[in-house]
Structure 1
């Protein structure tokens, strides 16, 4: 890259106008919330004709406003929870299970949206490869477990064996039974070692899954979410229901109980799940030292070089 010929002396940022400063800070805050509104657009429902369903009624607008108010309040509490987890060295695993399109990903996004990804991270493992299929079943999950001061959210988990693997015939009857013998002891072992295990099942109706699958089919931004396995799961609704019932019955233990989230209404499901999650830990607000922005050092012999025009991204917007 050639050295720029022109130069410009660094100037102190002009923020002398308090009203202008307040306006700019307000705009920055609003911009930080726009991500949630963008996600909101992803949740629009699609009718049988492939067109978005109308949701512009006055009551819908009121409900949406209340939803955002509560969501932002709960996300503020999640930040306090995060600080407490770091401060106390707490370790927690949160498992999200449910049918395809049940809304697991949506609530995970809202939980992690304002948090530090080094503290709260998501584990979404792909199907096991040839080597992993020869390992102890839980082995590939162990490396994702939290250290002190971490929260790990499993977007699907070792319970794949009790669900998709059982229904689709990816495991033998012996492997299936061994899973149910092992998983209670595995989770008790985690709890004894100081890892809190919280398990959520997102429950939706047959009709609601049908509607959400249609939304994915008709929305080009969502079609990537539909895999052949998802479509087959739709056909085998009753098989998945039976598998789910067995799973809940055989793995609901005092040390790591299941919690069922009614998820037909996506927004209510998110708020209910986050509120419940916050109740599972005795967190409190951790006092922080006041943050003071230091003055930037300025040196008379420093000049700022202009960026070469040929490497600037065109400003099309």
Structure 2
């Protein structure tokens, strides 16, 4: 990692909020989320949010803070396991389609069809033709979703290697989080460079005006959670929105652009 990225101040990264500041801000944002849910239930909206990122980037924690006070009848978290033999012999997107939101629903994917662009390609779980077909067709698939009336957000949580190692070690030692460990955890670090290259290809080829990627710098869990929620709320319409509260810090959350790769702003 570059010296610029090792020094948060040099990278222009905001300071970590205190526990009190974090708790108060998160509570106010969760009130806004309840307002949002009331609005999209009333108007029959369909909202789909995809969370991608390296292992231990904070996807679980961010999703939990979003859904904590929302109605479980209209909120679903989708985290699919290993594909079955039938899944592997079907159209790739087929197993994801049944989980798409209906009217009045918010659906959050904790990893998604982008598994093919990441872990499957890096670990050799798909062939090169399967990978190429996915990269060629996923923009069209997402365009169909958006044109059908689904509001689609895609977040990539970007974490440093040092922070990933620290979190994976802590996860393994904590009896409350050991369920998250898997045989692939060791490869997350060993294949760090390969995953970074796969990330860059995925972002560059699947970012577009219809379904853009948003990057969250995720070494600080508190800043990530607060600013992802703010970004999401700022981009959705609902009544009585606290406009000043939901303004995200663009040093933490930003729309993807290829210059982020060229300038070394993504973790490598």
Q: TM-score band (shorter)?
A: 0.7 to 0.9
Deviation of the 1:220 alpha carbon:
2.1
- Structure 2 counterpart of 1:244, from 170, 180, 199: 199
| Paired position in structure 2 for 1:212 | 167
| Paired position in structure 2 for 1:106 | 61
| Paired position in structure 1 for 2:94 | 139
| Paired position in structure 1 for 2:226 | 271
Q: Structure 2: how far apart are the matches of 1:173 and 1:85?
A: 40
| Paired position in structure 2 for 1:228 | 183
Deviation of the 1:285 alpha carbon:
4.2
- Structure 2 counterpart of 1:87, from 2, 18, 42: 42
| Paired position in structure 2 for 1:4 | none
SS of the equivalent of 2:155 reads strand
Q: Structure 1: how far apart are the matches of 2:214 and 2:62?
A: 15
Q: How many residue pairs were aligned? A: 227
Deviations 1:91-146 (A, max 9, x none): 11100000000000000000000000111110111111011111100000000001
| Paired position in structure 2 for 1:284 | 239
TM-score, reference length from structure 1: 0.70
SS of the equivalent of 1:151 reads strand
Deviation of the 1:74 alpha carbon:
0.1
Deviation of the 1:218 alpha carbon:
2.0
- Structure 1 counterpart of 2:208, from 238, 250, 253: 253
SS of the equivalent of 2:103 reads coil
Deviation of the 1:282 alpha carbon:
1.2
| Paired position in structure 2 for 1:195 | 150
Contact 1:84-1:285 at 8 Å conserved across structures: no
Deviation of the 1:221 alpha carbon:
2.0
Q: Could you tell me which runs of 5 or more consecutive residues in structure 2 were left unpaired when the two chains were aligned.
A: 1-14, 242-268
Q: Structure 2: how far apart are the matches of 1:64 and 1:280?
A: 27
Matched, 1:150 2:117: no
- More deviation, 219-228/129-138: 219-228
Q: Structure 2: how far apart are the matches of 1:77 and 1:117?
A: 17
Deviations 1:269-288 (A, max 9, x none): 000000000011111149xx
| Paired position in structure 1 for 2:78 | 123
SS of the equivalent of 2:96 reads helix
| Paired position in structure 2 for 1:41 | none
Deviations 1:56-112 (A, max 9, x none): xxx98x700000000000000000000011011111110000000000000000000
SS of the equivalent of 1:138 reads helix
| Paired position in structure 1 for 2:244 | none
Q: Structure 1: how far apart are the matches of 2:233 and 2:37?
A: 10
C-alpha RMSD of matched pairs (Å): 1.4
| Paired position in structure 2 for 1:22 | none
